[in-house]
């Protein structure tokens, strides 16, 4: 895993440093262990730390923001969208018969 010291003085780095976290690896571990939950304003990734929870999107957005603040361009935020249907996930065939919808699952990878 990539690791570097958090030296930036911008908001995302400062909020994670307020928890005594000073490396990217420590930030990843801390944020990963926060419970899943929606933050009150999804445009403010610092709320992941302040509210002690986050979705995949907000947690990854915060980590990407921390990396950007610390000039680590090799950390990229990418989104993958996958269709879920009876053809792609046969184990869910009965679910799709009842609900008659297709699901698009989003994964965010750093």
DSSP output for 79-96: EEEEEE-TTT-GGGHHHH
pLDDT at 100 over 70: yes
Per-residue pLDDT, averaged over 6-16, amounts to 98
pLDDT at 105 over 70: no
Confidence (pTM): 0.79
pLDDT in tens, 15-25: 999 999 999 99
**Number of structural domains found in the chain:** 2
User: What are the backbone angles phi and psi of residue 27, rounded to the nearest 5°?
Assistant: -60, -45
- pLDDT of res. 103: 67
CB atoms within 10 A of CB 30: 15
If asked whether residues 33 and 65 sit together in one domain, one would say yes
Write out the residue range of the structural domain in which residue 61 sits: 11-69
CA distance 101 to 9: 46
pLDDT in tens, 42-94: 999 999 999 999 999 999 999 999 999 999 999 988 888 877 788 888 998 88
If asked whether residues 15 and 65 sit together in one domain, one would say yes
Whether 6 is covered by a domain: the verdict is no
CA distance 110 to 61: 9
If asked whether residues 52 and 82 sit together in one domain, one would say no
If asked whether residues 88 and 62 sit together in one domain, one would say no
If asked whether residues 24 and 60 sit together in one domain, one would say yes
User: What are the backbone angles phi and psi of residue 59, rounded to the nearest 5°?
Assistant: -65, -45
If asked whether residues 87 and 56 sit together in one domain, one would say no
If asked whether residues 64 and 102 sit together in one domain, one would say no
If asked whether residues 64 and 19 sit together in one domain, one would say yes
CA distance 92 to 48: 32
If asked whether residues 21 and 54 sit together in one domain, one would say yes
- pLDDT of res. 109: 63
If asked whether residues 57 and 105 sit together in one domain, one would say no
Report the 3 state secondary structure along 53-71.
CECHHHHHHHHHHHHHHCC
């Amino acid at each position: 895993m990539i690791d570097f010291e958090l030296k930036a003085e911008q908001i995302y780095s400062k909020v994670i440093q307020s928890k005594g976290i000073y490396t990217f690896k420590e930030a990843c571990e801390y944020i990963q262990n926060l419970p899943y939950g929606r933050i009150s304003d999804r445009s403010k990734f610092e709320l992941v730390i302040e509210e002690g929870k986050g979705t995949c999107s907000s947690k990854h957005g915060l980590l990407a923001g921390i990396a950007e603040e610390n000039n680590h361009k090799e950390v990229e935020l990418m989104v993958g969208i996958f269709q879920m249907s009876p053809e792609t996930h046969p184990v869910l065939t009965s679910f799709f018969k009842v609900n008659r919808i297709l699901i698009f699952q989003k994964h965010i990878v750093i």
